[in-house]
């Protein structure tokens, strides 16, 4: 191979290897292997040569060309690999970095207790019904034996809308509405919902609060049924070791009426601040439905009987989660809510 060709091969190989990126490599390729490149120039020399030397010179040029193409290909592969490695390095994931925290919503403690209570009663066969928050005096009071001179009917204690309509002060009116709607026994429902009273807010009072009304009417319903249902509720809600205490009480819409307390689940009934050192915590009111209330709902008290109960959901939430101020349930302070 002549000197010029050898030099060309060396220069070209060096230029290819010196290329630091694809652009430089393509430029070098154009300079040597391109149409007007150095190899092309050598080919042009062919016709100047005597015919007996043309064959071997042509072979040499082609050999150089083939070798250069190989050098080019290998440098190209090398540059591609370097580029890929850089890309991988740049995109590397550092799994030791602290992760991003996404805020997660939570169920409000009041809603949790509400749902839990509803599920306990549903498991015992109760249906869930609702009644209006705006009630008439008839449903909210009169039909429940709270007559006009009852202290609860004082305008000071209720949010009246017109002379005859008010925000319901209890969920008990749903008793009457349900009996009317269903028309005949059996009735076995709970009615959870919002209730309203004109109380100044303090640690244990809120003008808006929540109750669950319960109602079970059929032939032959007794105090035994009442006891079984509410003892079961207390155990499911507060723990299987919790005992229930039934004491006489008075409500106009039940006769007899009972006040139900549970043994303190915090101190095991030994006496602590939560149970005011008595060992017992009052949690609900109940009783056998007054005959007049059954009649007001369109039922015949000579044929059927029933029991009713009312539970304060807010109070359940306070007790269950050891919260000492009902207002916390309504302030929507995230520092409070995030604890549940
Ligand atoms: N309505 C009563 C109240 O708001 C709670 C209540 C007590 C409901 C006894 C009942 C019941 O159904 O039988 O204080």
Model confidence pLDDT, tens digit, residues 252-286: 999 999 999 999 988 989 999 888 999 999 999 99
Nearest CA to ligand 1 atom 4: 170
Contact (CB, 8 A) for 167 and 134: yes
**DSSP three-state, residue 297:** coil
Q: Is the pLDDT of residue 338 over 70?
A: yes
Q: Residue 285 C-alpha to ligand 1 middle, in angstroms? A: 5
Q: What CA–CA distance (Å, rounded) separates 180 from 197?
A: 26
Report the percent of the chain where pLDDT is more than 90.
Answer: 76
Q: Residue 60 C-alpha to ligand 1 middle, in angstroms? A: 110
Q: What is the CATH number of domain 109-337?
A: 3.30.930.10
Nearest CA to ligand 1 atom 12: 309
Ligand 1 atom index nearest CA of 284: 7
Nearest CA to ligand 1 atom 7: 285
Ligand 1 atom index nearest CA of 254: 13
Model confidence pLDDT, tens digit, residues 219-248: 999 999 999 999 999 999 999 999 999 999
Average pLDDT, the chain: 93
Whether omega for the bond prior to residue 186 falls within 30 degrees of 0, making it cis, is yes
Ligand 1 atom index nearest CA of 213: 12
Contact (CB, 8 A) for 229 and 216: yes
- Sequence length of the chain is 340
Q: What CA–CA distance (Å, rounded) separates 195 from 97?
A: 50
Ligand 1 atom index nearest CA of 307: 13
Predicted local distance difference test score (pLDDT) of residue 137:
95
**pTM (two decimals):** 0.73
Q: What is the CA radius of gyration of the chain?
A: 45
Model confidence pLDDT, tens digit, residues 56-103: 888 888 898 999 999 999 999 999 999 999 999 999 888 899 988 898
Q: Residue 172 C-alpha to ligand 1 middle, in angstroms? A: 6
Q: Residue 99 C-alpha to ligand 1 middle, in angstroms? A: 51
Residue 278 dihedral angles phi and psi, to the nearest 5°: -95, -20
Which residues are paired to 312 by β-bridges?
A: 211
Nearest CA to ligand 1 atom 2: 310
Ramachandran region, residue 215 (left: φ > 0; alpha: ψ -120 to 50; beta: rest): beta
Q: Where does the pLDDT of residue 1 fall: very low under 50, low under 70, confident under 90, or very high at 90 and above?
A: low
Q: What CA–CA distance (Å, rounded) separates 38 from 29?
A: 10
Report the percent of the chain where pLDDT is more than 70.
Answer: 99
Q: What CA–CA distance (Å, rounded) separates 92 from 193?
A: 55
Ligand 1 atom index nearest CA of 172: 1
In the chain, where are the structural domains located?
3-90, 109-337
Model confidence pLDDT, tens digit, residues 106-121: 999 999 999 999 999 9
Whose CA is closest to 198, among 167, 225, 174, 173?
167
Mutate to test the pocket of ligand 1, among 139, 172, 314 (most ligand atoms within 8 A of CB): 172
Q: Is the pLDDT of residue 300 over 90?
A: yes
Section 35-48 average pLDDT: 85
Predicted local distance difference test score (pLDDT) of residue 58:
87
**Ligand 1 pocket by Cβ (under 6 Å):** 170, 172, 213, 251, 254, 285-287, 308-310
Greatest mean pLDDT range, 38-47, 64-73, 144-153: 64-73
Predicted local distance difference test score (pLDDT) of residue 43:
84
143 Cβ contact partners less than 8 Å away, ≥ 6 residues apart: 173, 176, 293, 296, 297
């Amino acid at each position: 191979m002549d000197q010029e060709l050898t030099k060309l091969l060396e220069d070209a190989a060096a230029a290819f290897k010196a290329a630091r990126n694809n652009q430089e490599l393509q430029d070098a390729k154009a300079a040597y292997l391109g149409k007007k490149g150095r190899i092309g120039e050598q080919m042009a020399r062919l016709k100047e040569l005597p015919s007996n030397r043309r064959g071997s010179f042509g072979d040499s040029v082609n050999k150089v060309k083939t070798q250069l193409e190989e050098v080019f290909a290998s440098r190209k592969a090398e540059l591609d690999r370097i580029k890929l490695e850089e890309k991988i390095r740049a995109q590397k994931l550092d799994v030791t970095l602290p992760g991003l925290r996404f805020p997660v919503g939570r169920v409000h403690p009041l809603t949790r207790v509400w749902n839990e209570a509803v599920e306990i009663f549903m498991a015992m066969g109760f249906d869930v019904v609702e009644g209006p928050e705006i009630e008439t005096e008839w449903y909210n009071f009169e039909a429940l034996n709270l007559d006009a001179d009852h202290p609860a009917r004082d305008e000071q204690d209720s949010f009246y809308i017109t002379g005859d309509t008010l925000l319901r002060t209890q969920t008990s009116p749903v008793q009457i509405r349900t009996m009317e709607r269903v028309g005949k026994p059996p009735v076995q429902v709970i009615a959870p919902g919002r209730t309203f009273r004109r109380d100044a807010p303090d640690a244990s009072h809120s003008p808006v609060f929540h109750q669950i009304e319960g109602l079970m009417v059929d032939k032959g319903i007794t105090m035994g049924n009442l006891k079984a249902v509410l003892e079961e509720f207390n155990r499911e809600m507060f723990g299987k070791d919790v005992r229930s205490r039934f004491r006489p009480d008075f409500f106009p819409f039940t006769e007899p009426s009972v006040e139900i307390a549970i043994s303190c689940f915090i101190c095991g009934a030994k006496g602590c601040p939560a149970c005011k050192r008595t060992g017992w915590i009052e949690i609900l009111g109940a009783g056998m439905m007054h005959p007049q209330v059954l009649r007001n709902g369109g039922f015949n008290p000579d044929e059927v009987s029933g029991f009713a109960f009312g539970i304060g959901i807010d109070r359940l939430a306070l007790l269950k989660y050891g919260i000492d101020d009902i207002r916390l349930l309504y302030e929507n302070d995230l520092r409070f809510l995030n604890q549940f």
